[in-house]
Amino acid sequence: MAAEVVKRVLGVFAHPDDPEFFAGGTFARWAAEGAEIIFVLATSGDKGSSDPTMTPAALVAIREVEERNAAAVLGVKEVVFLRYPDGELTPSLDLRRDIVRQIRLYKPDTVVTCDPTVFWFGDRGLNHPDHRAIGEATLDSVYPTARDRLNFPSLETDEGLEPHKVKHLYICGTYSGNLKVDVTEHLETKIAALREHKSQIADMEAMAERQRGNRDPEAPPDAPRYMETFRVITFDR
C-alpha cells in the first residue's frame, strides 16, 4: 500500500509523549513535507510521576510545557489539551463529542490515533488502558460521528461546526499494519522531540539508543532504515 500525500493532520492521543513515541518520525516527515499538524491530547498526564512530592496540578503544568516543546521540534502547529484525568479515560460519549468537535473544527484529511484492540505488546508489557480508550473513542468519532449531521447536532447549531468527513485514518501501535512510513531522515528529529519529555524519560541516552537500534529488519546492515508502521483505512464515501 502506497502512502498518499497528507495536508492537514489531527493526531489524537491520550498523554503527552504519546505522539512522539508512537509516530514522532512520521509527524516530523509530514511537517517537513508541508503538512499542517495539530495534536489533541485527552489528558495532560497528571499521574505520570513517582516523585512523592509531586502533585497532579504541578505535573500537568510540567507535562503540557514538555509536550508543546516536543511538538514544536517536530514542526507541529498546535497542541490542544482536553484535560481529562490521566488513568481514567474511557470511550465515553463526552470524550467522543470533544474529539468530534476538534475534527469538525480543524477539518483534517488525516487522523492518527492508537489501536484500541492491542492489550499487550508481546512479552514486553501491557498497553496502557488510556491508549485503548482514546483509540476507540477516536475511531468512533471519525466514523460515523463527525461525518453525520444528526450526531451531536448542537456542535453545528450552537458552535457552527459543520460535519466533516476524514479521508485517511492512520492507526499506530498496531499488530495489523498495512503501511510502513520511512522515517530514516527524521529519526534524529523524533529523538530530539522525545528529549523534551524530561519528567518521563530518566535516561535520555538509553532512550536514544533504543530508537536508533529499532532498525527495519529488511534493510541491509550497511544502510539501516527506520520505519513506523500503521494500519491505514481510507474512506471512499
Give the pLDDT confidence of 51-88 residue by residue, as tens digits: 999 999 999 999 999 999 999 999 999 999 999 999 99
Question: Percentage of the chain surpassing pLDDT 70?
Answer: 98
Q: What is the pTM (predicted TM-score) of this model?
A: 0.96
Q: Going by C-beta distance under 8 Å and a sequence separation of 6 or more, which residues neighbour residue 109? A: 6, 7, 8, 9, 166, 167, 168
Domain that holds residue 107: 8-234
| Domain-located, residue 201 | yes
**Which pLDDT band, with edges at 50, 70 and 90, does 1 fall under?**
low
**Which pLDDT band, with edges at 50, 70 and 90, does 20 fall under?**
very high
| Domain-located, residue 67 | yes
Number of domains observed in the structure of the chain: 1
By C-alpha distance, which of 39, 159, 36 is closest to 104? 159
User: With 70 as the cut, is the pLDDT of residue 210 above it?
Assistant: yes
| Domain-located, residue 1 | no
User: With 70 as the cut, is the pLDDT of residue 237 above it?
Assistant: no
**Which pLDDT band, with edges at 50, 70 and 90, does 7 fall under?**
very high
| Domain-located, residue 3 | no
| Domain-located, residue 159 | yes
The tens digit of pLDDT for each residue in 135-177 reads 999 999 999 999 999 999 999 999 999 999 999 999 999 999 9
What pLDDT score does 3 carry?
57
- Cα separation, 168 vs 76, in Å, equals 18
What pLDDT score does 5 carry?
81
What pLDDT score does 221 carry?
86
| Domain-located, residue 2 | no
Q: How many C-beta neighbours within 10 Å does residue 40 have?
A: 25
- Look at 1-5, 100-104, 140-144, 148-152 and tell me which has the smallest mean pLDDT: 1-5
| Domain-located, residue 133 | yes
What pLDDT score does 189 carry?
98
Helix, coil or strand: residue 214? coil
Question: Percentage of the chain surpassing pLDDT 90?
Answer: 94
- Cα separation, 40 vs 134, in Å, equals 10
Here the CATH number for the domain that contains residue 163 is 3.40.50.10320
| Domain-located, residue 33 | yes
Please say whether the dihedral angle defined by the alpha carbons of residues 232, 176, 88 and 195, taken in this order, is positive or negative: negative
